[in-house]
Chain A
Amino acid sequence: MSDKALSASETASGLLKRAGRWQIWEIALWLIAIAMIFVLPSKMLILTEITILALFAVSLDLILGYAGIVSLGHTAFFGLGAYVAGIFARDYVSEPVTGLLVAGAVSGLFGFVTSFLVLRGSDLTRLMTTFGVAMLLAELANQAAWLTGGADGLSGVMITPILGLFEFDLWGRNGYIYALVVLMVLTFIARRIVNSPYGLSLKAIKRNPVRAAMLGISPTRRIVVVYTIAAVYAGIAGALLTQTTSFVSPDVLAFHRSADVLLVLVIGGTGYLYGGIFGAIIFTVLRDWLSVITPQYWMFWIGLILIIIVMVGRERITRWQAFLPGSARAERLKARKAAEDVR
């Protein structure tokens, strides 16, 4: 009996280990990102933008792709992080890494407090509460002009060299390296989290919360934890934006940012972390290209893309990941197909 239990837990940990194995395409992606420093030195600013958006989308993926919470106000945490980093740098310490940690902590605390709002109710209630929280913060930032600069944005943010060693240069080279390092570290941590037994239990809750609760997995505590982690990530992404641009505009809390990050994640695909990164690359390049063609009306095309994605089916669009060499998803799809054939 105990023998059997042991082997079951061994199988389980074996499966987890296999799911968490490094894939060739993952390593290639990071190598390409590092190589960009030398290959495209003139495009550093847009690459930094992509990196920040990717981190923001990874954070949304943690709650949407793994816990199944649809949020219309995720930019609340992004904007909070941006403002905290800006105010902290202006009034207290202008060293970026400290600011990053402070912004992440404040945003995480806010995420912890608001996480209790998303525990109750249906999808619709969650949509409304997250949306409402983001609007409240936006209103607050707009009204508290003595602290945030109001509608003009927060200026006068001076950022000293990173750890006192590397200065932000005019071409954004160090800024990109800094953002990339943060993204890499945080993605590795997120990777550990989602491939742990805890990450697996989150997926169980997403599939069927009632069944998960019956199996002894308490949804409440797990959702609070993942929501807090996602808030920390989003806050750090916002802080990165402040530090690389030395400016905070009220735009960081605007509704279209929440919609944008949803679109980013949907383009890249949810539930495997890298969706945010691929999505950010595609989205930023696309937006750049569209706004060159139709400066004022690129929103129209973004809307059209959203509708087409939904109409064609998100599943079908994100299937291309399956063709990445050595993808776990490809193996799973193959296995499923074989099972269907037998049936």
Chain B
Amino acid sequence: MLTILFDGIAYGMLLFVLACGLSITLGLMNFVNLAHGAFAMAGGYITVIMMNRYGISFYWCLPAAFFVTALIGVLLERTLYRRLYKSSHLDQVLFSIGLVFMSIAAVDYFMGGQQQLISLPPELRGRFDFFGVGIGRYRLFIIVLCAALTVALQLALTRTRFGSQLRAAVDDGRVARGLGINVSVVFALTFALGSGLAGLGGALGTEILGLDPNFPLKFLIYFMIVVTVGGTSSITGPFVAALLLGIADVAGKYYVPQAGAFIIYGVMIMVLILRPHGLFAREGGR
């Protein structure tokens, strides 16, 4: 029972790291980026290639996944995404679906369609007993890492100069520009951060979520649920939503496996009917 709760929390934390980049682009920058999962997939494949082909340690792969994905994010933002900030949502949806299709086919071409496996370092494998609760070492690792990231992210957004610049740029781009904030650089850096986090999440999730070319579509719905249910005005909303979703999904799969994905979709639709702007939306938010 408590083990399921623990696994659910680990799963939720992982989902949060994967989705929080999306909650920034979608919530703060108002860009419907359905290709977010493609960045996560990139992070996962970077880890797989580094570990299995070059034998690099898992711990080095994580920052590498973050930085390489962030770099890809910046490149795409500068060349393509930037032009679409002002376009209609339909254009953004079409563009990002196109990107998803291309990434799926490209990964299939280079890496093949099979499930990718990595072997974790020995100290992260297995479980230990803690007051009768079975705790997976790797899941504990994820929880600690993700909790640290969440706190850092929350502090960065609320306490630092960059965070206030970002909030200013989002609230009113013209005035922020008038005050001497370089809005397009702020957006580019934010986008890089978001995609980097997705890449990191993808690297961490290779073991738990599995990795194959259909990853972006398979987990798109999870990311979107986290963001839409959590509301897009803060970090805490998606965080709570991700935890709830993680626990509900793990518990649902364990207790009522035949219900499959019904519970999640059903809950999401119910929430969206009752609270169209998410559970924790601030009034008048976008």
Is the C-beta of B99 less than 8 angstroms from some C-beta in chain A?
Answer: yes
A247 to B265, CA, bound (A): 28
- Return B90 CB to nearest CB of chain A, in Å: 5
Interface residues of A in 1-54 (CB under 8 A from B): none
Please report the C-alpha to C-alpha distance between residue A140 and residue B217 in the assembled complex, in whole angstroms: 19
Q: Which residues of chain A are within 8 angstroms of B99 by Cβ–Cβ distance? A: 303, 307
How big is chain A's contact interface, by range? Answer: 35 or more
Q: Mark A294-327, 1 if CB is under 8 A from B, else 0.
A: 0011111011111101110010000000000000
Bound: A255/B52 CA distance, A: 32
Q: Is B284 part of the contact surface with A, judged by Cβ < 8 Å? A: no
Shortest distance between the CB of A30 and any CB in chain B (Å): 29
Q: Which residues of B contact A303 (CB under 8 A)?
A: 97-103, 105
Select the stretch in B79-87, B147-155, B158-166, B174-182 that faces chain A: B79-87
* Interface flag for A124 (CB, 8 Å): yes
Contact between A129 and B269, CB atoms less than 8 A apart? yes
Instruction: Tell me the complex Cα distance, A296–B104, Å.
Output: 11
A314-B266 contact, Cβ under 8 Å, with A143-B260, A302-B101, A304-B102: no
Q: In the complex the two chains form, what is the Cα distance from A299 to B103 in whole Å?
A: 9
Is B95 within 8 A of A307, CB to CB?
Answer: yes
Q: Give every chain A residue within 8 A of B168 (Cβ-Cβ).
A: none
Complex CA distance for A305 and B225, rounded to whole angstroms: 28
Closest chain B residue, CB of each to CB of A116:
B273
Does A311 lie within 8 Å of B273, measured CB to CB? Answer: no
- Quick check: is A122 within 8 A (CB to CB) of the other chain? yes
B94, B106, B221 interface centre (most CB from chain A within 10 Å): B94
Smallest Cβ distance from B185 to chain A, in angstroms? 22
Residues of B within 8 A of A121 (CB): 272, 276-277
Residues of chain B within 8 A of A212, CB atoms compared:
none
Interface centre among B98, B100, B262, B266 (most CB of A within 10 A): B98
Other A-B pairs, 18, CB within 8 Å; known A124-B228, A303-B101: A70-B89, A122-B277, A127-B32, A132-B265, A132-B268, A132-B269, A132-B272, A143-B260, A255-B217, A259-B97, A297-B105, A300-B101, A300-B105, A303-B98, A304-B102, A305-B98, A306-B98, A310-B98
6 A-B contacts, Cβ less than 8 Å apart?
A: A143-B260, A262-B97, A299-B102, A303-B97, A307-B80, A314-B91
